[in-house]
């Protein structure tokens, strides 16, 4: 979604606070679906200097996925500080030597969806757990297998577990 920075364009050097609501579409990460509560919040301040808009603050988001250990629902709270520079590129003005990875904007509005996605994904743990000491693996261990033998879901869970192990290799 777009953040209106026209105030900063009119007043270079002046710092303006902002609070921006963003959304992050569901992501497929190593075969696991990760969804984000709405809104993803970006708050902080921005200022303009020359063609550069500096945006700094904190991204707050809640991600949902499946616990690596027990396959139950897992939630991750993210708070990601950021400081990024967006360069104003007016329509028709292109520099082929420009770094394609740099953040740019045109006009008086800045698209922040891609920034929010990048910040959130970099902060997500590689192994998402429902709680830090989830004992899902222990429950899957052979010594517990007897009690699960008559549980039709245990077969399904084993399949899912194997599937997941394959993907981690």
Query: What is the contact surface with Zn ion in residues (CB under 5 A)?
Result: 67, 69-70, 72, 130, 134, 136
CB of residue 73 to Zn ion, shortest distance in Å: 9
Burial per residue of 26-55, b for 16 or more beta-carbon CB atoms within 10 angstroms, e otherwise:
ebeeeeeebebeebbbbebebbbeeeebbb
The nearest distance, CB 141 to Zn ion, in angstroms, is 14
Closest distance to Zn ion from the beta carbon of 135 (Å): 8
CA dihedral 108, 1, 116, 37 (to 10 degrees): 150
Residue with Cβ nearer Zn ion (80 or 124) = 124
Beta carbon of residue 160, minimum distance to Zn ion (angstroms, whole number): 13
By C-beta, is 75 or 151 nearer to Zn ion?
75
| Residue closer to Zn ion, measured from CB, 1 or 67 | 67
For Zn ion, the closer CB: 67 or 85: 67
């Amino acid at each position: 979604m777009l953040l209106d920075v026209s105030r900063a364009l009119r007043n270079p050097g002046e710092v303006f606070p902002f609070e921006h609501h963003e959304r992050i579409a569901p992501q497929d990460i190593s075969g696991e679906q990760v969804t984000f509560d709405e809104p993803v919040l970006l708050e902080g301040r921005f200022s303009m200097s020359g063609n550069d808009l500096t945006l700094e603050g904190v991204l707050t988001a809640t991600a949902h996925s499946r616990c690596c250990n027990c396959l139950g629902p897992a939630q991750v709270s993210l708070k990601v500080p950021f400081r990024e520079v967006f360069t104003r590129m007016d329509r028709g003005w292109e520099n082929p030597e420009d770094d394609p990875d740099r953040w740019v904007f045109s006009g008086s509005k800045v698209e922040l969806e891609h920034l929010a996605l990048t910040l959130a994904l970099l902060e997500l743990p590689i192994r998402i757990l429902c709680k830090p000491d989830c004992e899902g693996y222990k429950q899957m261990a052979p010594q517990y297998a007897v009690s699960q033998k008559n549980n039709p879901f245990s077969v399904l869970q084993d399949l899912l577990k194997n599937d997941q192990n394959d993907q981690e290799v």
